[in-house]
Amino acid sequence: MKSSSPASVPPSDLTALISRGLKGFKGSLPFHQFVLKVTSRCNLKCDYCYMFEMADDGWREQPRIMSDNTLSATASRIADHVRDHHLSSVQVILHGGEPLMAGPNYIATAAAKLRNAIGAVVDLRVQTNGTFLADSMLEVLTQHDVRVGVSLDGGQEANDAHRRYANGKGSYERVARSLHRLRERAPHLLAGILCTIDLRNDPVGTYTALREFEPPLIDYLLPHGNWTSPPPGRDPSAADAPYGIWLAELFDHWYSLSPRGCQIRMFGEIIHAMLGGQAAVETVGLAPVSLIVVDTDGTLEQVDTLRSAFAGAVATGLSVYTHDFDAATLHPAIVARQRGRDGLCAICRNCALHPVCGGGLYAHRYQEGSGFMNPSVFCPDLAYLIRHVHRRVSNDLASLNRRSGVMS
């Protein structure tokens, strides 16, 4: 096991949080989502990967696969957490690296162990690059009711620009075959497709290519980056909004489809937050985050995407071997992401859009020297998109009102 320092939150963040009452904060939530990094290696070498290609190379110190002992200790800790907090259900996501590299027997054993140990409904999922979904794996996933999220960035050209094997060969053909097989054999297991945005790709073309696989949901992700290491095409000092424009074009297409197309999570959550609801995704809105990551050696980590910020950003100094999950609920950075508006910087707190954008993804707020108490590096893009969505939805509601006489 590696020993890691808990000092993963910049001092400026802690000072700001404490000044707004962290000391007296007793409202930390139990965890409902457990991300288990059952493997620490991947067979792809995607150029934007926060795990292997960014600031944190801690994966090198990890065992290649989560041992049976670590898996048992994790299952036992989750069971304790469920019992202590009277949770009726939890979600467990097998993640990596590429989790299906562990093989069907390992996945079957892990699924059975987790379901047997945890005394609650377990929504068991795997997030995969889609290159290991052979028949034998599909049988195991079906048998243990493990829902599947597949990462794919659009059609062949779009996907293979980034999602390649180490030898440079693109992964699209194999993943497309996997998705067709999944659709034929066990369509109910496909939870959705995760697509990382590349501004060079046509937004509508990307959506059309992904719809071919009939996912119930597509989750578009902004590429990782922050104020210190900006994402591609995003000049932090500029007020333009290349990602906002890209997403607005996609929104217009999606919003106008009849019959309605598959869900795009970011858009659905933005509209929901705009109408007064609580967005249920960490990329937008102010809903508290209640997830914890268990690394391959059993160490507990904050949300994995923080690896894109700086080396050690995810560390909590805790492990399933020595600590229960309650210890992690008190970690300042986890508490910070459960505090809604109070966890945001002053600029965001004073902006009318913050109930919708929620300050953006926590990892995107990082700046060397000032930590995470900043707006997202995508702030102009999020603002552009939210204003665009606001106009469309407001106009449509007004039009419905005129046509049907509702909302009078």
Partner 1 sequence: MDGLSSEEPNPKDASPLIDVSGVSLDDVARMDDSVLVHSLNRILGDAENPDEVILASFSATI
Residues between 24 and 83 that touch partner 1 (CB under 8 A): 29, 32-33, 35, 42, 46, 50
> Which of the ranges 80-88, 108-116, 202-210, 254-262 carries the binding residues for partner 1, by CB under 8 A?
254-262
In the bound state with partner 1, the residue whose beta carbon lies nearer, of 140 and 314, is 314
Q: What angle do CA 293, 296, 301 make, to 5 degrees?
A: 30
CB of 174 to partner 1, least distance (A): 14
DSSP letter (8 states) at residue 81: H
CB of 190 to partner 1, least distance (A): 15
In the bound state with partner 1, the residue whose beta carbon lies nearer, of 369 and 407, is 407
Residues 206-225 that bind partner 1 (CB under 8 A): 219, 221
Q: Does 88 interact with partner 1 (rule: CB under 8 A)?
A: no
Residue 25 to residues 19, 22, 181, Cα–Cα distance (Å): 11, 5, 49
Q: Tell me how many residues contact partner 1 (CB under 8 A).
A: 77
280 within 8 A of 21, measured Cβ to Cβ: no
Out of 99, 154, 155, 244, name the contact with partner 1 by CB under 8 A.
99
* Number of neighbours of residue 139 by Cβ within 10 angstroms: 14
Backbone angles phi, psi at 191, to 5 degrees: -80, -30
> Which of the ranges 8-16, 94-102, 137-145, 324-332 carries the binding residues for partner 1, by CB under 8 A?
94-102
> In 3-state terms, what secondary structure has residue 124?
strand
Q: Could you give the strand order of the β-sheet that contains 33-37, starting from the edge strand earlier in sequence?
A: 263-264, 217-221, 190-196, 147-151, 121-128, 89-95, 33-37, 291-294, 299-301, 315-319
In the bound state with partner 1, the residue whose beta carbon lies nearer, of 188 and 387, is 387
In the bound state with partner 1, the residue whose beta carbon lies nearer, of 90 and 114, is 90
Q: Does 262 interact with partner 1 (rule: CB under 8 A)?
A: no
Residues 114-153 that bind partner 1 (CB under 8 A): 127-129, 151
Q: Are strands 291-294 and 299-301 parallel, antiparallel or unpaired?
A: antiparallel
CB of 406 to partner 1, least distance (A): 4
Instruction: Determine the Cα–Cα distance for residues 387 and 359; give it in Å rounded to an integer.
Output: 15
Out of 121, 238, 280, 330, name the contact with partner 1 by CB under 8 A.
280
Instruction: Determine the Cα–Cα distance for residues 156 and 361; give it in Å rounded to an integer.
Output: 28
Residues 306-345 that bind partner 1 (CB under 8 A): none
Question: Which pairs count as long-range contacts for 392-401, CB under 8 Å and 24+ apart, including other chains?
Answer: 392/251, 392/252, 392/255, 393/271, 393/274, 393/275
Residues 153-182 that bind partner 1 (CB under 8 A): none
Out of 245, 255, 326, 332, name the contact with partner 1 by CB under 8 A.
255
